[in-house]
Amino acid sequence: MKEKFYKYIQNLQDTITAKLEDVDGKATFKEDVWERPEGGGGRTRVIENGAVFEKGGVNISGVHGALPDAMKKYFGVEEGDFFACGLSLVLHPNNPMVPTVHANWRYFEMYDKLGNIVNSWFGGGQDLTPYYLFDEDAKHFHATCKEACDRHDDGFHIKYKKQCDTYFWNTHRNEARGIGGLFFDRCSETEDMNMQNWFDFVTEVGNSFLQGYVPIVEKRKELEYTREQRNWQEVRRGRYVEFNLIHDKGTLFGIKTNGRIESILMSLPPHVQWHYNHQPEKGSEEARLLEVLKNPKEWI
């Protein structure tokens, strides 16, 4: 399964980066192939200073070796080796009318002393972080997520949309990072779903990503905006940074397993602002966004 899924994310990385270069029309992805001293490596692709994307990355990795002490404690084991692979992407657009997007699809195996698999699971999801809220865009993104879920289980969308709203919650701000999407983790074999079933589901979601995001980008990338709206985008990016550095399990896992720090922190935007007790004007579009972030909606 690990070879099968790693081959899938290699191909998906090629598909996504090719399409995003076409959408941007100016910048191209720069590739950086790296190795992890303890085992494994990855292929980082970053786009910067484009016509559409100010900064973005579409990265894959496959790492393995002994579980670090922090991960032994997390999993409640004394010894063990692991393998983890996945594709992770974040795109920060120039235009504040275009939302930031994040997605990740991953597979994990843990082994005993004899090399036998003692646990394995899939995880991932995709979520949207707008700076200005267009209801039709939110509905389109969530409808795409639901369509992918419904092909496998008509209960998945409700479950994983709720998990997304719960996971991407900035508890110290009491607000969501964005308007959600899907989040699923520790998807392992059950009576109803074997690992091939989970593979089919996760790849279905991965294959739906471009369909969910690109039409939104195409619709909004040429809209005019003011310096004040750009400032608001940068203030909201600050909340994005706060979540990634304080709460995100993927960031923490990468750091604790001696992951490649440049690839891990690729998700951080280049221009960010923090202001003391920043509050938008009442009745403004900025205030409307905040209201939704404090009270997640059912978009479809």
Alpha helices in 85-155 (DSSP H): 135-150
What CA–CA distance (Å, rounded) separates 96 from 239?
Answer: 15
H or E element that contains 2: helix 2-24
Query: pLDDT per residue over 88-140, tens digit each?
Result: 999 999 999 999 999 999 999 999 888 899 999 999 999 999 999 999 999 99
Q: How confident is the model at residue 254 (pLDDT cuts 50, 70, 90)?
A: confident
pLDDT score of 70: 72
Element (H, E) at 30: strand 30-35
| Range with lowest mean pLDDT among 35-44, 87-96, 144-153 | 35-44
pLDDT tens-digit readout, 204-227: 999 999 999 999 999 999 999 999
Whether 28 has a pLDDT exceeding 90, the answer reads yes
Which amino acids are annotated catalytic? Answer: 102
- pLDDT of amino acid 87: 97
Residue at 232: amino acid letter: W
- Better-predicted residue by pLDDT, 273 or 36: 273
Tokens 């699809």 — which residue? 105
Asked if residues 57 and 267 have their Cβ atoms less than 8 Å apart, the reply is yes
- Roughly how many angstroms between the first and final C-alpha of the chain, as a whole number? 34
Give residue-wise pLDDT tens across range 42-83.
999 999 999 999 999 999 999 999 987 777 777 777 788 999
CA proximity to 119, closest of 27, 185, 212: 185
**pLDDT higher than 90, residue 16:** yes
Q: What is the pLDDT of residue 184?
A: 98
Domain ranges of the chain: 2-294
pLDDT value for 155: 97
The answer to whether residue 167 scores a pLDDT higher than 90 is yes
Q: Does position 276 have pLDDT exceeding 80, yes or no? A: yes
Helix or strand holding residue 105 (H, E): strand 100-111
Beta-strand ranges (E) seen in 112-249 are 117-129, 169-170, 175-176, 180-187
CA 242-244-246 angle, to 5 degrees, is: 60
Residues 234-238 have a mean pLDDT of 98
pLDDT of residue 75: 76
Q: What is the mean pLDDT of residues 142-147?
A: 98
Query: Average pLDDT in the 230-234 region?
Result: 98
Tell me what the mean pLDDT of segment 182-190 comes to: 96
Q: Which has the closest alpha carbon to 20: 108, 138, 115, 103?
A: 103
Q: Rounded to 5, what percent of the chain is helix, strand, coil?
A: 45, 25, 30
2-294: which CATH number, 3.40.1390.10, 3.20.20.410, 3.40.1500.10, 3.40.50.1000? 3.40.1500.10
How confident is the model at residue 100, as a pLDDT? 98
Rounded-to-integer distance, Cα 199 and Cα 152, Å: 11
Q: Work out the number of other CB atoms within 10 angstroms of the CB of residue 168.
A: 23
Specify the pLDDT at position 173.
96
In this predicted structure, the answer to whether residue 296 has a pLDDT above a threshold of 90 is: yes
